[in-house]
Amino acid sequence: MNKVIVLDRDGVINVDLMTYVTKPEDFEFIEGSIEAISLLQNSGFTIAIATNQACIEKKIIDDRQLKVVHDFMNLKLAVHGSTIDCIAYCPHDPDSKCACRKPEVGLLVEIEKKLGVSLEGSFFVGDKETDIMAANNYNCVPLLVKTGYGMQTLSSANCPPANHCFENLFNASKFIVSTIEK
């Protein structure tokens, strides 16, 4: 089993503002997501984030400001003994038609290079159809959470089977950990 877990950020780890998280004070963890990341790391998993952040190309924030948000997230996780091992983000607007914006797989290629591992067979937890599509496009195992846009994604053509759909990241994490206990 692959011990790297890929997570989307907005709507999975933190509350999706339906706009952009541009500063630390806007970053609010979804209930149970800190505990979920701790559970996964304590079970030996490496945690990576693959997130679309068009706010950069739209000039709402820059790379440095996004790093401040991610540093804040990791600081809060560190209090609980956890961290995100790798963060890959797409800075492009959807109209750019880049190779990194999910459902394209460029972010997954970047994570593989940074971590020096294959992501094939890794769990990829997301709330949007584009997350599920990226997972499928890269031979990852998609898991859907019903937080963020997850409830809308339940009716999409690419929705995973019901046994791969969870109320939140904590429940998805318990499922992931159960797969290694067998």
Which residues are marked as active site? Answer: 8, 10
Q: Say how far apart CA 69 and CA 53 lie, in whole Å.
A: 12
3-state class of 13 per DSSP? coil
Contact 73, 87 (CB under 8 A): no
13 phi, psi to nearest 5 deg: -90, -45
Place of tokens 């692959």: 2
Q: Determine the Cα–Cα distance for residues 94 and 52; give it in Å rounded to an integer.
A: 9
For 137, counting Cβ atoms within 10 Å of its Cβ (0-12 exposed, 13-18 middle, 19+ buried), the class is middle
